[in-house]
Chains A and B, each alone.
Chain A
Amino acid sequence: MKLEARSIRVHASGKPIVNTASLSVSSGELVGLIGPNGAGKSTLLKAMLGLRPKISGDVLLDGEDFLAQPAHLRARTLAYLPQDRHVEWRLPAADIVMLGRYPHRARFGAPTPEDRAAVARALDAVDGHAFLDRPINALSGGERTRTLLARALAVEAPILLADEPIAALDPYHQLHVMEVLRERAHAGAAVLAVIHDLALAARFTDRIVLMHEGAIAAEGRPGDVLTAANLARIYRIQPDAALGYARLT
């Protein structure tokens, strides 16, 4: 399965936010979408989901127009973890993860055994069984992000788009989440994640797409994209001795 964005253009107040950007993500790969603040990464993701209107361009699933499909079918194919982590009500973590089954459930009626199994699998993946009964407002930052990630995993969609899944997490949890995403990709899903941490992107992703001022500046293997020239030109930084850590289990 391959999700492809072709020549997407998105405007806001007359100014281009995404300026003819194209990228794709296929089953089995974890793609990292990186770029400076304001490059248009989140907007591109939302355009692919149909959450932001686009001026032009196509979103194709295996060659067919994806956005023409009805919303409830798209919801089964494409799971989304947005940047916004706010949950209004003090729902227990397990109930939040169950919300991920919305595309599969009937309008009325209790969750099916299949729903419960999917929730259990999602909680397994994020190691969330310890806090599944606690209300979300009582969870730590890491626990909250893992709950919302589990919510997205519970959809069990073949494609997952994650917008800054490791923001505001400590190194332990950052590594954990990246490992979950990689496992997911290698289990057969197509995973696209927006990431700011270049070192983590380099370590975990199969392919990197570098975005700058609304357009794709570079794409390819991490080593090919994260060159000194690109870093200098786009990020205005230079690489230092890489600091890596491994998680203690």
Chain B
Amino acid sequence: MKPPLAYPLLIAALALTLLLLAAFSMLVGAGGGLSELLAMIASDNADTATLIMMEVRLPRTLLALMIGASLGLAGASLQGFLRNPLADPGVVGVTSAASLGAVLALYSGLSMAFPLALPMTGIAGALLCALLLQGLAGRGGVLSLVLAGVAISSLCAALMSLALNLSPNPYAAAEIMFWLMGSVTDRSMDHVAFAAPLILIGWAVLAFSARALDALSLGEESAASLGVNILTTRNMVIGGTAISVGAATSVSGGIGFIGLIVPHILRPLVGHSPSRLLLASALGGAALLTAADILVRVLPTGAELKLGVVTALVGAPFFLWLIFRARTEIES
């Protein structure tokens, strides 16, 4: 049963969608739409328009693309390695650990020291998590890894709740809460410069593990007999996820569901091949998050909606749809 679209066509379609969304993202915002921007340029206010486009919207769009791609790619990679279609970057604890790092910076006031203090503590948390995962999971297989990830996630969630609980400053508590909801609003090119190299490194590491994920479809024994080094593959998947998703989370805060939904939806379209799913999910994740960020700006709610809230609102119905689909499959 061949997929409806040949793989190169699928990639081209996703890339095109992505470009259109990115262009749209550059034309949407509180400073004005296309007509207002053109008016600014016409009335000798071109430098304001340039400032808004290049220094506010461009970093925002680039971050939505990079973060969405990282989440989709890491999600596909983890689903491939763990051989479970319900895995996502959260399951190995990386997002919680990155969030905890940032929350501690907000709680202690360290985040006020300099603007990039917050992302730096976030990535530190993610990398620590990766080391902890290797240590806890040891030479064990998938089960050890998932248990270690769950343990780390639970611990980080508990510590974050503790920070909120003990926060003597109601303003810091509010900041922590908003940060956890996820956002790319008003990020600067500094954030892009910080996150981009790490994200690209993470992508490279994950791409290198692609072929092994295909072999793992047959199970660990067959894969090992074909020459796959399970431990190395595991470390690459964790490492690539920690670096890319860690850097992404440290800049944007908590954004969920992308890493879970996008690979799940695209899998039938790539013929269920884990390696092909990586590129498709990266493009799909970037498109979805950019679309969500556009929504955040155009919806007429009073306060700006947080990005993580929008992705969660999309994610929950998706699960319901999964349940209904599974039920009809069983009943038919």
**Interface positions of A (Cβ within 8 A of B):** 46, 49-51, 71-76, 78-80, 82, 84, 86-92, 95-96, 99-100, 102-103, 105, 107-108, 133-135, 138, 148, 151, 155
**Interface residues as binary, B186-227 with A (CB distance below 8 Å gives 1, 0 otherwise):** 000000000000000000000010110011011101101111
Instruction: Assess whether B154 is interfacial by the CB under 8 Å rule.
Output: no
Residue of B at shortest CB range from A91? Answer: B272
Instruction: Assess whether B229 is interfacial by the CB under 8 Å rule.
Output: yes
**Chain B residues near A76 (CB, 8 Å)?**
227
Instruction: Assess whether B295 is interfacial by the CB under 8 Å rule.
Output: no
User: On chain B, which size bracket covers the interface?
Assistant: 20 to 34
Can you give 14 A-B contacts (C-beta < 8 A)? A50-B224, A73-B227, A74-B227, A75-B226, A82-B222, A82-B225, A88-B217, A88-B219, A89-B267, A89-B272, A95-B273, A96-B218, A102-B211, A133-B1
Contact B221 A51 (CB under 8 A): yes
Partner of A88, one of B2, B83, B268: B83
A-side interface mostly:
mixed
Contact B217 A78 (CB under 8 A): no
**Chain A residues near B59 (CB, 8 Å)?**
none
Contact B225 A80 (CB under 8 A): yes
**Chain B residues near A102 (CB, 8 Å)?**
211, 214-215, 226-228
**Chain A residues near B214 (CB, 8 Å)?**
99, 102
**Chain A residues near B274 (CB, 8 Å)?**
89
Contact B217 A89 (CB under 8 A): yes
> Measured between alpha carbons, how far is A105 from B212 in the docked complex, in Å?
11
Q: How many A-B residue pairs have CB under 8 A?
A: 85
Instruction: Assess whether B315 is interfacial by the CB under 8 Å rule.
Output: no
Contact B221 A84 (CB under 8 A): yes
Instruction: Assess whether B29 is interfacial by the CB under 8 Å rule.
Output: no
Contact A49 B217 (CB under 8 A): no
> Measured between alpha carbons, how far is A76 from B227 in the docked complex, in Å?
8
> Measured between alpha carbons, how far is A108 from B272 in the docked complex, in Å?
18
> Measured between alpha carbons, how far is A100 from B224 in the docked complex, in Å?
12
Contact B271 A92 (CB under 8 A): yes
Least distance between B1 CB and chain A CB atoms (Å): 6
Given the interface pairs A91-B272, A99-B214, A107-B211, the reply to whether A86 lies near B219 with Cβ below 8 Å is: yes
Interface members, chain B 217-256 (any A CB < 8 Å): 217-219, 221-222, 224-229
